[in-house]
Structure 1
Amino acid sequence: MIYLIILLLLLGCMALLDARWKLFLFAHPWAAASVLAIGTAYFLVWDVAAIAAGIFLHRDSHLMTGIMIGPQLPLEEAFFLLFLCYQTMILFTGALHIWHRRGRLRRAGEQS
């Protein structure tokens, strides 16, 4: 249960950053939600394929809920993949934000 709580807290932190700077979900909610859903689904399918191939194997832990959404696929994995996708998009859009801001500042400095 602790791992799920940590993942939810991390998702909340990403949402706070996103809300403050309007980087992803708060800038374009429908498109961003679609990207998150597709990205998370893609990685879940990847995990299922890896489980079927015997690459991934779930081990019981007292830190997890024990809820399985598929054979060898714990609930926490879906939240981790959602966090991974959201974090990646926050980092990407944040980098673009900084890049564009630096370009505007540079152009403003050249004009004065």
Structure 2
Amino acid sequence: MPGLYLVAILISAAGVAALDARWRLAAWAAPGRTLAAVGLGTAFFLVWDAVGIAAGVFVKGGSPLLLGIDLAPHLPLEEPFFLAFLCYLALVCWSGAMRLREARPDAAARGRS
């Protein structure tokens, strides 16, 4: 079913955004910084992909789940969406981990030693 991979990425991103909204971890706490971090991370990984494609390391496999639209040879349309999702997920996970770390009662004592 063409497009299913992109739909899965978007549904997953919506789930992460719901957690972010509920706990105000990234985009709801600092939208500008979140957009910048996700944008820079996505751009970095797209350059990484381009280098890998040029070196012949990364190739696009044939999958019926892809839309079939390529932005460049071996770079499907879904790739930037996946990379943005990956960056956003990492940022939300990091923010959540830092929130949990700060909430621990003995965190202040550990920080001083």
Q: CA RMSD in A?
A: 1.3
1:93 to 92, 95, 112: 95
Q: Which runs of 5+ in 2 are unaligned?
A: 109-113
Aligned position for 2:72: 70
Q: Which residues in structure 2 correspond to 1:1-112 (within 5 Å)?
A: 1-103=3-105
Distance 1:40 1:7 in 2: 15
Cα distance in 2 for residues equivalent to 1:17 and 1:45: 29
Deviations 1:24-68 (A, max 9, x none): 011000111000000000000000100000000012211010111
TM-score, normalization: structure 1? 0.90
C-alpha distance in structure 1 between counterparts of 2:93 and 2:31, whole Å: 17
Runs of 4+ in structure 1 deviating by more than 4 angstroms, as ranges, are none
Q: Distance in 2 between matches of 1:37 and 1:93?
A: 17
Percent identity between matched residues is 42
